[in-house]
């Protein structure tokens, strides 16, 4: 069953076609770019149907149109001609004998090219003669045929333009004569063997003359024109037509305007060079009008990189046309390079877009709003069923007006770009400033001078802006092509019908009643275009009411019909109007519509004129898509064939390419407003590729463009990604700065980031580029993934080249990166940060618990931290020892990176660095926090275990050394006697400790003990931090799990046996939702509640974490158990043996006093090397061996202190009497150090007692019989870890 077309099409709109793609590109796709109206598709064969006796004219017109097309092809051949000679190989000396072969080959290659030139020569001759013949036929005073029509006049002008352009190109291209002379040389070489070469030689000479004569084509045309008959009349008509059109500047779009501007000087030269009176021209057109036109446009674009100047043409042609050389006024016009500076300034102001961009911006904004509102009105109208006819007419009329305005705006804007280019080409940059230092200004090519260095940053900005206006308005208009088409047709139909049915009727009734022949033309106009029956499709009553209304308004009313007049109709109407005003007389003085003694009243003339120009604009509107395409075509900005030739290079680097210059500007300027236009310059490439293929028809040009675009787009994407990354990075970095700190800062502004919108660019999944569709979004995502990985890699590299203190900085930078990731992943889908982190940490494997960072921390601790850092017990910090390390630590140098691998901008980098600098000198609580956060629960246990293994290794290595020390001690050491005083004690101690030859061993043991102490203290710090983290965790989860903190720190459950609040919450929510019958997916809610139970279990299990420090102590204790027998000599008697020297505490005691002495002797030297961790290490081992009491009783320094105390008391007593203080001479410092050491030791012991109450583990018990039992193990010992596997155990 047949469905009405309209309904079928309307049904299509039910498909959802939204794809959330931002419109940030020009129109990249044309459904149809055929010209149906401006160039009649059927070559005006329908004109004859109107029986206006125009067949001769139509024939001539078509002939001219064919010639124009051919001429354009010739021009593109000539424009894209590239010298072949440069590519010809040179024969090396060894191959001179095959010179003849080379000549032959060269000849064959060149012959192909030369045949094209020959063809051009032949074609121009025939075109000139045909044009001349055409002009002559239609300009006889005694006219036998109708014509020329307006369309015909246009064709003449266009053909003339093609000829002028060809001539201009031929003059400008130096490579053509070059190639030709080479060709001629090879010809003479090759043709020796040939016979009968005279005709070829003759032909060659002809071609040579043609190629080497400037303006040969025009000269030839001149000869042809004035050969038989004079053509001044038609030339004058053409001049008048051109001048009036230019002056009115209403119906002209820029391509036509440029044609007229290019042709006019040549026309003037031709018209004034005739034999008879040359002044008659100025009777019709005042010379001032011509001069004005020439002065208004001193440069006219002809080819993308080639311009024409009327003044220069006139001057040059005056040498060839004697008659014209007397036209002094026209010849004094200054050529662009001769302009006096002041005038040049004025022109500069006129030509540079930058001076108009403000107005253009306002126009654009205003236009887009009105366009959108008209579109909305139109859509509203379409959606209403029975709309009021008046309203519908008004809406469609306003749509039409807006579109006319749009065309005019586009035309003006694009013309501005063409003209600015021409102006820039005519005024190269005088002294370019080299952008890079290695370039010398002498090496600039001409093209660089006219393009690369000729646009200032502001001008680039204005150009980008204008390009994006043109492209966006173009795509906006192109998109609604099929929506507005019928409205436009209807409006045009109404306009035409209104004119022929109403205006003409009035004219016929009034002014033209008496003038028979004129009124006949008017009625012809009605006949050939009136649509009288347009209202018959309406039903009767409506029709009557319409007619009734029509009578009231005293005009014919006609029902709107969405059909446009054909090209032939408009062609005939234009012709007839022209006939009316000119009276068919070419010699009629005055202008076209200039009223000089015409028989038609001014009022009517005005109406005719308006309609005349309206008609010619209808054509552009009917060719909607083609007009939009040609008006928004900016492809010319890429072409540089002329400069390529003059610079003698194969191609310019992309830095010289204007589209790329614009893209680069956009990326570098970081202008938030222009960012979304970043893809607009690529439309220039699209356009130029289209031109290369369709207009110039040159494959090699397309290939070059394609290569450039590929390259440019790659650079563009990588630069764009850099920009995006930097932006998001600095955004994240500035958000992570302390806001109150920023607020208090005077220059806090420089740390804030200007917002930029990348969201439009990040959404683009289809960028149209040379017919390809590119998924920009995925490209960006891909690069971002890579960038994040590189950045993380860099951060780790950087950390690896620094010491452990840099962990705070690392955490900060990783945090910034993570925040960047978070911000960016809102717009782009990139890999999750944890994945990237795991990948870079090399901990992807499920069974690997070490990570790059953890192993780095461990190796850093082993090789640098433990040997070279010393502990300060008071500040709880480790600092680097000022002593030169024994083994210099080898580290890779800090890798270099761009600021965006740190925090984005330089300012933010310095802000964050000054924060990081606070933490780079020590290792303390903040560093431990960073380690905990960076390693997480996965790698931290690995690290702890590795460090504990380090302890047990250390203990193992210490064992033989301690044995060595033990052997050197005397068998028994008694208590120090009080009678010798401090001095005596010290002497005794030294006698006991005769380790004189074992200083090395001593230092080694001390260092070992220090490392053990450092690790243990480090664990203590870690324990503190973990406690804090755990507490925080507990606070967060407790309310959900239903925990209550008890009095003694134990955890109470708020529900007795019931579910925890989180499970309850989800269960009840699920129950409520599921009970509701309208619930769509009950199963998913049940899953939710199950997951809550799982979460409950998981979190509850995590609640009671042990203490790392306790674990570490227990581990150490287990490690020491092996040496228990060696280091603690349990007395057989069971009572304390005060003279034993084998116990570990004796060794440590000796070491301690020795090192205290050294500390005092050499000013704070040893302490700098060892710090407080020796005490931690020594005391812990003593404590764990159960020797704390022994140590406190028998330690040498403690004993010395006791002696000193007693001595001091006695001294004070004696002091009272004889006042001769000889007490402890020279021992004060040592005693002070001993006191300090005792305080520290006491601190360590008290801490150990608190955290690792060993009494429970091994205690001394006395049996009822009185026999003591040593080291009895109690059930409730803390050490559940003795079963742990030990390395090497």
Q: Closer to other proteins by CB, 46 or 803: give it.
A: 46
Region near other proteins per CB under 8 A, out of 102-110, 143-151, 715-723, 734-742: 143-151
Would you state the structure tokens that stand for residue 389, as one six-digit string?
């006819």
Region near other proteins per CB under 8 A, out of 142-150, 329-337, 849-857, 931-939: 142-150
Binding other proteins by CB under 8 A: which of 43, 111, 793, 831?
831
Q: Which residues share a beta bridge with 303?
A: 306
Contacts of 294 (CB under 8 A, 6+ apart): 264, 265, 310, 311, 314, 330, 333
Report d(CA 723, CA 717) in Å as an integer. 10
Task: Quote the least distance from Cβ 766 to other proteins, whole Å.
Answer: 5
Using CB under 8 A as the binding rule, whether residue 42 contacts other proteins is answered as: no
Angstrom CA distances, 800 to 4, 660, 753, 947, stand at: 75, 41, 31, 19
Considering only residues 70-109, where is the footprint of other proteins by CB under 8 A? none
Ramachandran sector of residue 44 (left: φ over 0; alpha: ψ -120 to 50; beta: rest): left
Residue 728 CA, chain-centre distance (Å), reads 12
Using CB under 8 A as the binding rule, whether residue 209 contacts other proteins is answered as: no
Binding other proteins by CB under 8 A: which of 694, 844, 889, 894?
844
Q: Closer to other proteins by CB, 446 or 790: give it.
A: 790
Considering only residues 549-568, where is the footprint of other proteins by CB under 8 A? 561-564, 566
Considering only residues 168-207, where is the footprint of other proteins by CB under 8 A? none
Using CB under 8 A as the binding rule, whether residue 532 contacts other proteins is answered as: yes
Using CB under 8 A as the binding rule, whether residue 999 contacts other proteins is answered as: no
Task: Quote the least distance from Cβ 10 to other proteins, whole Å.
Answer: 9
Using CB under 8 A as the binding rule, whether residue 845 contacts other proteins is answered as: yes
Using CB under 8 A as the binding rule, whether residue 52 contacts other proteins is answered as: yes
Would you state the structure tokens that stand for residue 978, as one six-digit string?
């009080």
Report d(CA 271, CA 586) in Å as an integer. 14
CB 837 within 8 A of CB 898: no
Cis peptide before 148 (omega within 30 of 0): yes
Q: Closer to other proteins by CB, 490 or 864: give it.
A: 490
Contacts of 617 (CB under 8 A, 6+ apart): 250, 251, 404
What backbone phi and psi angles, to 5 degrees, belong to 1043?
Answer: -95, 150
Strand 1043-1045 to 877-880 pairing: unpaired
869 SS3 class: strand
Binding other proteins by CB under 8 A: which of 34, 41, 45, 53?
53
Q: Closer to other proteins by CB, 624 or 1123: give it.
A: 624
Task: Quote the least distance from Cβ 943 to other proteins, whole Å.
Answer: 20
Task: Quote the least distance from Cβ 32 to other proteins, whole Å.
Answer: 7
Report d(CA 439, CA 441) in Å as an integer. 6
Task: Quote the least distance from Cβ 940 to other proteins, whole Å.
Answer: 20
Q: Closer to other proteins by CB, 845 or 1217: give it.
A: 845
Q: Is 1165 exposed, middle or buried (0-12, 13-18, 19+ CB in 10 A)?
A: middle
CA dihedral angle for residue 282, residue 286, residue 288, residue 293, rounded to 10 degrees: -90
Q: What angle do CA 601, 602, 606 make, to 5 degrees?
A: 120
Binding other proteins by CB under 8 A: which of 529, 688, 939, 1089?
529
Would you state the structure tokens that stand for residue 881, as one six-digit string?
């020892």
Q: Closer to other proteins by CB, 849 or 1223: give it.
A: 849
Using CB under 8 A as the binding rule, whether residue 21 contacts other proteins is answered as: yes
Using CB under 8 A as the binding rule, whether residue 19 contacts other proteins is answered as: yes
Residue 747-786 contact track with other proteins, rule CB under 8 A, x = bound: ------------------xx------x-x-xx--x-----
Using CB under 8 A as the binding rule, whether residue 576 contacts other proteins is answered as: yes
Binding other proteins by CB under 8 A: which of 359, 602, 846, 887?
846
DSSP string, 494-519: HHHHIIIIIIHHHHHHTTTSS-HHHH
Residue 619-658 contact track with other proteins, rule CB under 8 A, x = bound: ----------------------------------------
| Packing angle of the helix pair 567-582, 602-622 (nearest 10 deg) | 160
Angstrom CA distances, 1188 to 81, 829, 1183, 1195, 1259, stand at: 101, 62, 5, 10, 12
Using CB under 8 A as the binding rule, whether residue 521 contacts other proteins is answered as: yes
Using CB under 8 A as the binding rule, whether residue 6 contacts other proteins is answered as: yes
Task: Quote the least distance from Cβ 532 to other proteins, whole Å.
Answer: 6
Using CB under 8 A as the binding rule, whether residue 829 contacts other proteins is answered as: yes
Using CB under 8 A as the binding rule, whether residue 848 contacts other proteins is answered as: yes
Region near other proteins per CB under 8 A, out of 28-36, 724-732, 1035-1043, 1077-1085: 28-36
Task: Quote the least distance from Cβ 448 to other proteins, whole Å.
Answer: 39
Task: Quote the least distance from Cβ 796 to other proteins, whole Å.
Answer: 20
What stretch of H or E contains 676?
A: none
Angstrom CA distances, 655 to 652, 1104, 1213, stand at: 8, 66, 97
Region near other proteins per CB under 8 A, out of 15-23, 320-328, 882-890, 1013-1021: 15-23
Binding other proteins by CB under 8 A: which of 42, 100, 192, 835?
835
Helix spans in 1128-1195 (H): 1144-1161, 1166-1170, 1173-1184, 1188-1194
Task: Quote the least distance from Cβ 854 to other proteins, whole Å.
Answer: 17
Considering only residues 453-512, where is the footprint of other proteins by CB under 8 A? 481-482, 485-486, 489
Using CB under 8 A as the binding rule, whether residue 523 contacts other proteins is answered as: yes
Using CB under 8 A as the binding rule, whether residue 534 contacts other proteins is answered as: yes
Residue 585-604 contact track with other proteins, rule CB under 8 A, x = bound: x-------------------
Using CB under 8 A as the binding rule, whether residue 31 contacts other proteins is answered as: yes
Q: Closer to other proteins by CB, 3 or 433: give it.
A: 3
What backbone phi and psi angles, to 5 degrees, belong to 32?
Answer: -150, 130
Contacts of 307 (CB under 8 A, 6+ apart): 299, 300, 301, 422, 425, 426
Report d(CA 56, CA 77) in Å as an integer. 32
Task: Quote the least distance from Cβ 782 to other proteins, whole Å.
Answer: 9
Region near other proteins per CB under 8 A, out of 24-32, 114-122, 310-318, 371-379: 24-32
| Other C-beta atoms lying within 10 Å of the C-beta of residue 1225 | 9
CB 1107 within 8 A of CB 1023: yes
Binding other proteins by CB under 8 A: which of 32, 108, 1031, 1055?
32
3-state secondary structure 942-1003: HHHHHHHHHHHHHHHHHHHHHHHHHHHCCCECCCCCCCCHHHHHHHHHHHHCCCHHHHHHHH
Using CB under 8 A as the binding rule, whether residue 524 contacts other proteins is answered as: yes
Region near other proteins per CB under 8 A, out of 575-583, 873-881, 899-907, 1126-1134: 575-583
Size of the site for other proteins (CB under 8 A): 68
Report d(CA 1106, CA 1099) in Å as an integer. 15
3-state secondary structure 86-104: HHCCCCCHHHHHHHHHHHH
Q: Closer to other proteins by CB, 188 or 547: give it.
A: 547
Q: Closer to other proteins by CB, 51 or 1081: give it.
A: 51
Residue ranges binding other proteins (CB under 8 A): 5-6, 8-9, 12, 15-21, 29, 31-32, 49-53, 142-144, 146, 481-482, 485-486, 489, 517, 520-521, 523-524, 527-534, 561-564, 566, 575-576, 579, 583-585, 765-766, 773, 775, 777-778, 781, 829, 831, 835, 844-848
């Amino acid at each position: 069953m047949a469905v009405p077309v309209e309904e079928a099409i309307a049904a299509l709109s039910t498909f959802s076609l939204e794809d959330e793609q931002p419109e940030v590109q020009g129109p990249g796709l044309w459904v149809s770019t055929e010209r149906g109206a401006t160039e009649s598709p059927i070559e005006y064969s329908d004109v004859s149907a109107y029986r206006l006796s125009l067949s001769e004219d139509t024939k001539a017109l078509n002939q001219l149109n064919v010639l124009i097309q051919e001429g354009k092809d010739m021009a593109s051949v000539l424009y894209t001609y590239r010298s072949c000679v440069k590519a010809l190989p040179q024969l090396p000396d060894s191959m001179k004998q095959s010179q003849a072969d080379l000549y032959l080959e060269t000849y064959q290659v060149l012959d192909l090219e030369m045949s094209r030139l020959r063809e051009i020569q032949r074609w121009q001759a025939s075109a000139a003669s045909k044009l001349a013949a055409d002009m002559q036929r239609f300009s006889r005073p005694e006219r036998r045929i109708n014509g020329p029509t307006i369309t015909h006049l246009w064709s003449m002008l266009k053909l003339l333009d093609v000829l002028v352009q060809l001539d201009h190109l031929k003059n400008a291209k130096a490579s053509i004569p070059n190639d030709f002379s080479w060709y001629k040389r090879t010809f003479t070489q090759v043709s020796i063997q040939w016979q009968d070469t005279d005709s070829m030689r003759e032909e060659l000479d002809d071609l040579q003359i043609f190629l080497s004569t400037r303006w040969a084509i025009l000269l030839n045309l001149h000869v042809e024109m004035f050969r038989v008959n004079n053509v001044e009349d038609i030339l004058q008509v053409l001049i008048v037509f051109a001048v009036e059109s230019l002056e009115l500047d209403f119906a002209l779009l820029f391509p036509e305007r440029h044609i007229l501007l290019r042709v006019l000087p040549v026309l003037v030269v031709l018209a004034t060079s005739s034999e008879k009176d040359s002044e008659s021209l100025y009777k019709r057109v005042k010379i001032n009008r011509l001069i004005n036109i020439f002065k208004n446009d001193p440069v006219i674009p002809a080819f993308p990189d080639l311009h024409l100047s009327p003044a220069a043409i006139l001057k040059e042609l005056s040498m060839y046309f004697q008659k014209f050389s007397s036209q002094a006024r026209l010849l004094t016009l200054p050529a662009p390079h001769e302009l006096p500076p002041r005038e040049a300034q004025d022109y500069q102001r006129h030509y540079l877009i930058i001076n108009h961009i403000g107005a253009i911006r306002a126009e654009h904004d205003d236009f887009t709003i009105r366009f959108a509102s008209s579109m909305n009105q139109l859509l509203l109208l379409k959606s209403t069923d029975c709309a009021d006819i008046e309203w519908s007419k008004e809406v469609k009329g306003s749509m039409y007006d807006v579109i006319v305005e749009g065309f005019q705006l586009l035309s003006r804007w694009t013309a501005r770009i063409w003209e600015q280019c021409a102006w820039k080409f005519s005024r190269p940059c005088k002294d370019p400033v080299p952008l890079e230092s290695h370039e010398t200004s002498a090496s600039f090519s001409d093209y660089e001078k006219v393009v690369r260095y000729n646009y200032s940053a502001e001008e680039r900005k204005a150009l980008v802006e204008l390009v994006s206006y043109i492209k966006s308005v173009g795509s906006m208009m192109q998109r609604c092509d099929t929506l507005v088409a019928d409205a436009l047709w209807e409006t045009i139909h109404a306009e035409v019908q209104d004119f022929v049915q109403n205006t003409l009727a009035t004219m016929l009734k009034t002014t033209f009643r008496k003038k028979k022949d004129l009124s006949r033309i008017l009625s012809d106009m009605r006949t050939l275009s009136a649509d009288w029956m347009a209202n018959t499709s309406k039903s009767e009553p409506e029709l009557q009411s319409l007619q009734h209304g029509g009578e009231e308004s005293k005009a014919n009313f006609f029902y709107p019909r969405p059909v446009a007049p054909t090209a032939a109709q408009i062609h005939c109407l234009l012709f007839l109007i022209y006939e009316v005003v000119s009276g068919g007389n070419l010699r009629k003085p005055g202008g076209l519509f200039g009223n000089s003694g015409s028989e038609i009243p001014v009022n009517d003339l005005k109406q005719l004129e308006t309609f005349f120009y309206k008609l010619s604009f209808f054509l552009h509107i009917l060719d909607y898509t083609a007009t939009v395409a040609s008006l928004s075509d900016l492809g010319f900005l890429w072409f540089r064939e002329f400069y390529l030739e003059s610079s003698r290079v194969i191609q310019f680097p992309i830095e010289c390419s204007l589209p790329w210059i614009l893209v680069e500007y956009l990326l570098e300027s970081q202008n938030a407003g222009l960012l979304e236009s970043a893809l607009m310059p690529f439309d220039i490439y699209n356009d130029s590729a289209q031109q290369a293929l369709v207009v110039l028809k040159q494959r090699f040009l397309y290939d070059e463009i394609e290569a450039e675009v590929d390259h440019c787009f790659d650079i563009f994407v990588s630069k764009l990604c850099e920009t995006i990354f930097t932006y998001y990075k600095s955004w994240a970095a500035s958000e992570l700065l302390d806001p109150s700190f920023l607020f208090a800062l005077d220059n806090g502004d420089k740390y804030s980031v200007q917002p930029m919108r990348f969201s439009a660019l990040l959404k683009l999944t289809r960028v149209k580029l040379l017919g390809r569709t590119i998924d920009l979004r995925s490209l960006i995502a891909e690069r971002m993934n890579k960038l994040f990985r590189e950045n993380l890699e860099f951060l780790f590299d950087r950390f690896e080249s620094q010491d452990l203190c840099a962990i705070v900085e690392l955490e900060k930078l990783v945090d910034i990166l993570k925040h960047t990731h978070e911000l960016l992943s809102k717009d782009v889908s990139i890999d999750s940060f944890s994945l990237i982190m795991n990948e870079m940490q090399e901990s992807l494997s499920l069974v690997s618990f070490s990570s790059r960072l953890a192993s780095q921390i461990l190796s850093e601790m082993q090789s640098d931290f433990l040997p070279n850092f010393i502990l300060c017990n008071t500040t709880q910090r480790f600092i680097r020892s000022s002593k030169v390390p024994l083994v210099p630590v080898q580290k890779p140098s800090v890798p270099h990176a761009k600021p965006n691998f740190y925090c984005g901008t330089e300012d933010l980098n310095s802000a964050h660095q000054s924060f990081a600098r606070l933490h780079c000198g020590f290792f303390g609580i903040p560093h431990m926090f960073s380690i905990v956060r960076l390693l997480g629960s996965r790698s931290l246990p690995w690290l702890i275990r590795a460090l504990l293994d380090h302890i047990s290794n250390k203990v193992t290595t210490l064992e033989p050394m301690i044995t060595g020390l033990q052997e050197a001690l005397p068998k028994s050491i008694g208590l120090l006697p009080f009678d010798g005083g401090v001095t005596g004690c010290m002497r005794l101690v030294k006698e006991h400790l005769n380790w004189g030859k074992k200083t090395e061993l001593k230092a080694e043991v001390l260092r070992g003990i220090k490392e053990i102490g450092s690790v243990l203290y480090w664990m203590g710090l870690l324990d503190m931090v973990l406690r804090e983290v755990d507490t925080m965790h507990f606070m967060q989860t407790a309310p959900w799990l239903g925990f209550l903190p008890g009095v003694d720190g134990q955890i109470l459950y708020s529900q007795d046996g019931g579910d925890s609040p989180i499970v309850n919450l989800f269960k009840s929510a699920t129950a409520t939702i599921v009970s509701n019958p309208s619930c769509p997916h009950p199963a998913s809610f049940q899953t939710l509640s199950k997951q809550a139970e799982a979460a409950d279990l998981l979190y509850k299990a995590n609640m009671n974490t042990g203490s790392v420090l306790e674990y570490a102590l227990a581990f150490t204790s287990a490690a020491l158990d092996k040496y228990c027998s060696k280091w603690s000599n349990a007395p057989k008697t069971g009572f304390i043996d005060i003279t034993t020297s084998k116990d570990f505490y004796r060794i440590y005691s000796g070491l301690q006093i020795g090192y205290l002495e050294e500390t005092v002797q050499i000013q704070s030297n040893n302490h700098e090397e060892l710090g407080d961790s020796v005490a931690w290490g020594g005391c812990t081992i003593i404590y764990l061996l159960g020797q704390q009491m022994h140590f406190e009783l028998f330690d040498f320094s403690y004993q010395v202190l006791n002696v000193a105390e007693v001595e001091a008391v006695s001294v004070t007593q004696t002091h009272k009497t004889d006042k001769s203080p000889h007490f402890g001479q020279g021992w004060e410092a040592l005693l002070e150090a001993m006191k300090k050491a005792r305080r520290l030791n006491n601190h360590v012991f008290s801490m150990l007692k608190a955290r690792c109450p060993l009494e429970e583990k091994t205690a001394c018990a006395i049996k009822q019989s009185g026999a003591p039992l040593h080291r009895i193990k109690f059930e409730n010992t803390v050490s559940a870890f003795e079963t742990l596997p030990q390395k090497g155990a």
